[in-house]
Structure 1
Amino acid sequence: MLPFSLRRPVKQVLHCAALGAMMALPVAMGPAQADSVTVGQTFLASGLDPAEGATGWALVTHGIGEQLFQVSRSGEVVPNLASSANFNADGTWTVELAPDRFFSDGTPVSAELVAAALNRTGEANPSARATAGRLTFEAVDSNTLKVSTEEQTTILPSILAEWAFPVYIETDAAPIFTGPFTVTDFQPGSQISMTPNAYYHDADKRPDVVLRRIADGQSLALAFASGELDLAFNLPVESLSMFDGAPGKAVKSFPVAYQYMMWMNTRHPALEDVRVRRAIDLAVNRDDLVAAARAGKPATGAFASSYPFAGSGPLTQDLEAAKSLLDESGWVKGEDGVRSKDGKRLELVLWAYPQRPDLVTFQPVVRAALAELGVSVTTQVTESPSQVAGEGSFDLFLWAQHTAPAGDPGLFLSLFFETDAARNYSGWSNPDYDALIAELRAEGDPQARIALAQKAQELIAEHAPASFLVTPEWHVGVSKRVSGYEPWGSDYYVLRPDFMLTQ
C-alpha cells in the first residue's frame, strides 16, 4: 500500500511558469504573511538541479522533490511515485509507477519522463552511481520502467530511495517536481518561497511556506524567540532554556540516524601513518562529547545502534594506548608538551561548520583531548564544508552525516570510503576494503549484508580514516501555529505532505 492516498485535486492551479525571472525579485526577510508559515534552518538547497552534488537531498527535505521509493517514519523502504519493483531473471528490474501522480504543472508522472530525469542524473552525479554503479532507465510503456544496473543488485528499491534520485522534468527555466510544495521564488543562500502543489492530494490544507536559511544555531534560536519563525529546525542545545515556559512555543527533541564523526586526512604527512590516526581516535572521550552536546549517545561505529548493521562498539578512550602508538611512530613529546618528529611539531587544524552547531561545540573538547596526547590543535570554522572537504584542505574535520538515508549501509560505506569514491574525503585507499564493498554491492541476502557491513566497519576502525563520535539528538522549536508538527527522518523529510497548520 502506498504511504499516501493520492488523487487529482479539484482545484487546478497552473505551475509558476517564470521561475527564472522570479529569482531576481527582492525578498523581505521579516515574518511571513498570516496565511503562510516561516521555517528556519541552517541549510538550504544551493540550487534546483538534482543532478548537482547533494541538491537532491535538499530538495527532498524541503518537500519539493520525491523519489520512486522513500523511507517511512519507521525506517522501512516503501513505494512512493512507484507502486512496485520486481527483480527479473535476466538481472534487470521492472518498476511500475503509482497511478494518478502529477508534477506541479499538472503533467502526469510517466515512465518516459522518469527515465529522462534519472538517466540524466546518473550521468552527471557520482552519488547516483555509488551503490550499484550506473543505473539505466528505459520506458517499457507509460507506466512501466525497465531498470538495468551496472553492478547487479537485489536492493533496487532502497537505492531508488537514496537522495540522488528525485524525479523531475528538466525545463529551460527550472526543473519541475512532484512534491507537496512547489517553488515560487528562490533566493540562493537566503530563502525559498513555496506554495502547495495544487496537483498533490490535500493541497488546500497546506500553507504557503517561506524557508529561510539562518547560518548559525544561535541566530536561529534568536529568530525563533523573536517570533520571526514558526518552526526552527535543529536548535543548539544551549539555547533550549530560552524557551522553557515561553508562551506559544515548544521544543521537540528526537533521536536521529546521523553520526557525528571526524575525517582524518590521510594525505597529511603525519596522518598518513595509521598509528597516528588510531592514536587520535583513542584519545577522544565520546562521553565528554555527549556531555558537551547534552544529548545523544556515544557512537558504536558508522551507523546508529538502531540499525541491525551497526557496529558492536563501544569506542572507548585509551590514552595510554594512544601515547604508545605515537611513541612507536617516532613522535616524541617535548618540554612544551607538544610532540615532534624530524624537527617538525605535531600540529593539526580541526575544522567544523556552523550548520551543525554541535560540531562547533565539540571543537574545544577534541582539542583538549588531543593536547593531553601531545598534539597541538588549532580550530577553524567554515560555512562551506563540502568545498573544504572536497578539496582535501583540512587535517581533521568534524562532520555530520546521515549514514543510512535509505535504510541500507551500502551507500555510505561505498560513497565515502572506497578508493575512487566521489566523497572519499579522507583520501584513504585499501584494496581489502574495496573488495569487501564489491562483495557487499553484489550481496542480496539481508543477513549476509549485515555481516559484510560490520566487517567494513571493523576495517575502518583498524585503519582510522575517520573517527565515529556521537549518535546525536536534535531539537526543533515549534510555535502554536504548527504545534502538531512531529520531526522524524533526521533532516531528510523536514517538510512533508502532513505539514499543515494546527487547527
Structure 2
Amino acid sequence: MKLETLMLGAAATTALAATMAPAALAARGSDGQLSIIMWQAPSTMNPYLSAGTKDIIASSIALEPLASFTTEGTIAPRLAAELPTVENGGIAKDLKSVTWTLKPGIKWADGSPFTAADVAFTAAYCMDPSGGCAQLAKFEGVETVEAVDELTVKISFVSPRPDPFSAFVGAQSPVLQKAQFADCTGERAPTCTQQNFNPIGTGPFKVVEFRTNDTITFEANPEYRDPEKPAFARLVVKGGGDAAAAARSVLETGEFDYAWNTQLAPDVIAGMEAAGKGKNVAAFGSLVERIHVNLTDPSSDLPEGERSTAKHPHPILTDANVRKALSMAIDRQLLTELGYGPAGQPTCNLVPAPAAWASENTECLTQDIAGAKALLDQAGWVAGGDGIREKDGKRLTLVFQSSVNAVRQDFQALIKQWWSEIGVETELKTVDPSVFFGGDAGSPDTFQKFYADIEMYANNFEGNNPEPYLARQTCDKIPGPDNQWQGENTSRYCDPEFDRLIGEMTQIVDPAERGAMGRTLNEMLTRDSNAVIPLVYRGTVSAVSNTLGGVELNAWDSELWNVADWHRIQQ
C-alpha cells in the first residue's frame, strides 16, 4: 500500500472542511454548545504532567503555545507576532538562540496581561529536575529562557540549533500563567490540583469545571483576542465509554458533534456512516501503533519504587534474542488489514515520516515463525512439555498490557497466538484508557509506570522535526520515582551511544545529514535492539457531524488546534 493512497484521507478531510464552510462565521457564542466526546477521558489539563494525547488535546482548548503546526506540518505563529527567521533577526546567525516577539494586547482569561515572563517561567517550570516534566524533551539543549522585555523572550541553546522550533511550538508545550503556577514548581507540581485541573489560558475557551476522567465544561473566553470567535458559547468534553460508542454518538445518533480517536475496524465505521449524520475523517502524520518491551523487572515481588527501574534488569527481556523473536513472529500486514484497512500501513519504523527520516528497513514486514523458533533454540530457550520455553529456571511467560479498545484487544489476541507458536506464554491485561494514559504517579496502571513486561500503544510527534521525539528515548527520560513517573522512555532503553548521537544531532545543520542521523537512531531503537517493536503506521481518525464546520483534522498538532474556527452549519 502506497503512502499516496493513504494520504487521500487527509485530502478528504480538507475537502470536507471546504464544503462545510459557510460564507461567514457567526458572532462569538451565537452557535450555542459544542459537544465533543473523548472516550479516553482526560485526567488533567496540564500537559506538562501527562504525556497522554488525550490530556494534551483537552488542554489545548484553553492553553496555547507561541506557534502551532499546521495540517501540512509547517509552523505558524499563534501567541507570537511572527515566526523568527535569520532574515528578520529572530534566529541568531550562529544558530545558538531564537528570539520570539509576542503579539501585543493578549490577555489571560482572567484579564491580566500575557507577557514574556510567563514564557520564561514555563520553561523553568518544565526544566526543574524535580518536577517530573513529561515534555522535557521539548527543552532538549536549551540553556536559558529569559524575558528580555514584556513582549520579547530569548531562548538560548547550549550549541547551535538548526531547528530551534521545539519549546513552545505545538500543543505539547504551551505557556502557563506564572501568577497561577508560581507555587507549583518542582516536587509541588503534581500536588496543585486546582491549577492542574483549571489552568488559566489565552485560548478561545476557558475552563469552568473539570471532573477528572469524566467531563470538562468550557465557556467562550471573553478575553480572547478575536472578538468574533469562538462561535460556540459553551464547549463540553465528555469522557468515558469506548471508541465504538463514541463514533456511534456522532455518526448514528447525532448526540455529539465530534468524536476523537474513532479507532475501529473499517467495516464497523462504514456501517455507522450509512446513517448519514457524519463522516469519519483521517489525516496522516507520525502516529505509529507499536509494542514497547520493558527492559527492567516489573515484578510485584520487588519493593515499590524499585519495580520497573534500572535497579533490576528484566530477567527475560534483556535477552536480545527473545526481543527479536517476538518481533519476527508478528504478521503486521494482517494486523493492518483487520484493524485499519486503508487507514493503516505496516511498518518497521518508529519514525515513519518525513520521508528523509524514515528507514528503508522492511525486514520485519515478513512474518517468520520458523526463524523465531530457530533463534530461541540457538539462544538456549528450550520448550517444555507444555510447549512453553524455559532457560536457567526462567519460564518464558510475559504479561502484555494495553488500553481497552476493540482493535487493540484484537491485536493482543492475535499476537498472543503467534507468540504461543514460538513457545511464549502470554497473559493479556487491559487497562481503562483514562487510567493507562492518565499520568497519575500514584496509579500502578499507567503506561509510564509499566508494571508489565510488554505494552502496546501509539503516539506521535509534532511538526516535521522528529528530533525531540527521538530525544525522548535517552537515559534521562526514563520514568521513575525520582521524576514523578513521567517521561516517554517507557522501555527503559539506555544506550550511551544513542545519547551521544542525540547530542550530536542538535549540532547538525544539513537536512540530509539530519535525516541520515534520524534513520540511524530509529534503527537503534527498533531493528537493532527491538526495545520498540513498530506495528502499524496509522492515520489520526475522528468522527465529525455534518452540522459542524471549520474542522481541519491535524495529525501534526492537537486535533483541536483550530477549535476557535469551528461553527454550526444550518441544514
Q: Which residue of 2 aligns with 1:309?
A: 357
Match of 2:382 in 1: 332
Distance in 2 separating the partners of 1:102 and 1:57 = 26
Say yes or no: does 1:400 pair with 2:426.
no
For residue 502 of structure 1, what is the aligned residue in structure 2?
A: 569
Cα distance change of structure 1 residues 459 and 361 upon mapping to structure 2, 3 Å threshold: same
- Counterpart of 2:234 in structure 1 is 208
User: Which residue of structure 1 aligns with residue 176 of structure 2?
Assistant: 168
User: CA contact under 8 A between 2:33 and 2:232: conserved in structure 1?
Assistant: no
Tell me which moved more, 270-279 or 421-430: 421-430
**Does structure 1 conserve the Cα–Cα contact (< 8 Å) formed by 2:399 and 2:454?**
yes
- Cα deviation for residue 106 of structure 1 reads 3.4
- What aligned pairs does 1:424-439 form with structure 2 within 5 A after superposition? 424-439=489-504
Return the alpha-carbon distance in structure 1 between the equivalents of residues 147 and 516 of structure 2.
36
Change (3 A) 1:373 1:312: same
1:134, distance to aligned residue in structure 2 (A): 4.7
Q: Does 1:289 align with 2:335?
A: yes
Post-superposition offset of 1:274: 0.6
Evaluate the alpha carbon distance shift between residue 251 and residue 97 of structure 1 in structure 2; reply closer, same or farther with a 3 A threshold: same
Residue 213 of structure 1: how far off its partner (Å): 0.9
User: Residue 261 in 1 paired to residue 272 in 2?
Assistant: no
Q: 1:36: how far off? A: 0.6
Q: Structure 2: which 5+ runs fail to align?
A: 1-26, 85-89, 182-193, 297-313, 438-444, 479-486
2:535 aligned with 1:489: no
Percent of aligned pairs sharing the same letter? 25
Q: SS at 1:171's partner residue?
A: helix
Q: Which moved more, 1:171-180 or 1:357-366?
A: 171-180
SS at match of 2:145: strand
The one-letter amino acid of 1:398's match is M
**Which amino acid in structure 2 is aligned with residue 395 of structure 1?**
D
| Distance 1:94-1:483 versus aligned 2 partners, 3 A rule | closer
Q: Could you tell me which residue of structure 1 aligns to residue 157 of structure 2?
A: 149
Contact 1:129 1:135 in 2 (8 A): no
Decide whether aligned partners of structure 1 residues 72 and 398 sit closer, same or farther in structure 2, where only a CA change above 3 A counts: same
Question: Partner of 1:415 in structure 2?
Answer: 472
Question: Given the alignment, which residue of 187, 203, 206 partners 1:179?
Answer: 203
Change (3 A) 1:444 1:108: farther
Is 2:118 the counterpart of 1:122?
Answer: no
Kindly state the Cα deviation for residue 470 of structure 1 after the two structures are TM-superposed.
0.3
Hey, what does 1:464 align to over in structure 2? 530
Deviation string 1:435-463 (CA, Å, 9 cap, x unpaired) is 11121133233222111110111212111
Match of 2:33 among 11, 32, 36: 36
Provide, for residues 317-356 of structure 1, a one-character-per-residue CA deviation record: whole Å limited to 9, x for no partner: 22232222211211122343222223432111111102x6
8 Å CA contact 1:69, 1:158 repeated in 2 = no
Distance in 1 (CA, whole Å) between partners of 2:53 and 2:290 is 23
Report the Cα distance in structure 1 between the residues aligned to 2:403 and 2:146, rounded to whole angstroms: 41
| Residue 403 (structure 2) aligned to one of 331, 353, 377 | 353
Question: What secondary structure does 1:452 align onto?
Answer: helix
CA–CA distance in 2 between the matches of 1:150 and 1:76? 25
Displacement of 1:419: 5.7
Is the CA contact (8 Å cut-off) linking 2:254 and 2:277 kept in structure 1?
no
Deviation per CA, 1:417-439, whole angstroms, max 9, x where unpaired? 44654332112222221211121
Distance 1:307 1:209, change over 3 A: farther
Deviates more, 1:345-354 or 1:385-394: 385-394
Q: Residue 122 of structure 1 aligns to which amino acid in structure 2?
A: M
Q: CA 1:56–1:120 in structure 2 vs 1: closer, same or farther (change >3 Å)?
A: farther
1:197 matches 2:190: no
Q: What root-mean-square deviation, in Å, do the aligned CA atoms of Structure 1 and Structure 2 show?
A: 2.8
Using a 3 Å threshold, how does the CA distance of structure 1 residues 149 and 359 change in structure 2: closer, same or farther?
farther
d(CA) in 2 for partners of 1:361, 1:275: 26
Matched, 1:101 2:106: yes
What is the distance in 1 between the residues matched to 2:173 and 2:550? Answer: 29
Between 121-130 and 434-443, the greater mean CA deviation after superposition? 121-130
CA distance in 2, matches of 1:187, 1:366: 36
For residues 149-195 of structure 1, what are the alpha-carbon distances to aligned partners after superposition, in whole Å with 9 as ceiling and x for unaligned? Answer: 34553322234315442113142764311112221221111111112
Using the TM superposition, give the Cα deviation of residue 203 of structure 1 relative to its aligned residue in structure 2, in angstroms.
1.7
Q: Is contact 1:128-1:134 (8 Å) kept? A: no
Alignment partners' CA distance in 1, 2:489 and 2:467: 14
Q: For the residues of structure 2 that align with 1:492 and 1:80, how far apart are their CA atoms?
A: 13
CA contact (8 A) 1:250 1:483 kept: no
Specify the code of the residue in structure 2 equivalent to 1:359. Answer: R
Mapped partners of 2:28, 2:246: distance in 1:
36
Q: Give per-residue Cα distances to partners, 1:57-89, cap 9 Å, x unaligned.
A: 835554221111211110112222122333336
Distance 1:502 1:304, change over 3 A: farther
| The one of 67, 70, 91 aligned to 1:69 | 67
Cα displacement (A) at 1:263: 0.5
Q: 1:49–1:55: 8 Å Cα contact kept in structure 2?
A: no
Give the structure-2-normalised TM-score. 0.76
1:135 deviates by: 5.0
1:362–1:483 Cα change, 3 Å = farther
CA distance 1:107–1:455, change in 2 (3 Å): same
Partner deviation per Cα, 1:199-244 (whole Å, 9 max, x = no partner):
2323252342111112422332344433332211222424314424
Question: What TM-score do you get using the length of structure 1 for normalisation?
Answer: 0.86
The answer to whether the Cα contact below 8 Å between 1:261 and 1:467 also exists between their aligned partners in 2 is: yes
Structure 2 partner of 1:84:
83
Contact 1:103 1:176 in 2 (8 A): yes
Are the equivalent residues in 2 in contact too, given 1:77–1:407 (CA < 8 A)?
no
Q: Which residue of 1 aligns with 2:321?
A: 275
Residues 345-402 of structure 1, C-alpha deviations (whole Å, 9 max, x = no match):
2111111102x65322311121122112111112100123254432231111011111
Contact 2:231/2:567 (8 A) holds in 1: yes
- Secondary structure, aligned partner of 1:84: coil
In the alignment, the residues of structure 2 paired with residue 38 and residue 498 of structure 1 have an alpha-carbon distance, to the nearest angstrom, of 15
Give distance in 2, aligned partners of 1:488 and 1:57.
14
CA offsets, 1:253-277, max 9 Å, x none?
Answer: 3334211010011222111101110
Contact 2:142 2:155 in 1 (8 A): no
The count of residues paired between Structure 1 and Structure 2 equals: 472
SS in 1 for 2:291: strand
Question: How many Å apart are 1:303 and its aligned residue?
Answer: 1.7
Equivalent-residue separation in structure 1 for 2:230 and 2:246 (angstroms): 29
Task: Mark the CA change 1:56 to 1:468 in structure 2 (over 3 Å): closer, same or farther.
Answer: closer
Q: For 1:216 and 1:485, how far apart are their aligned partners in 2?
A: 22
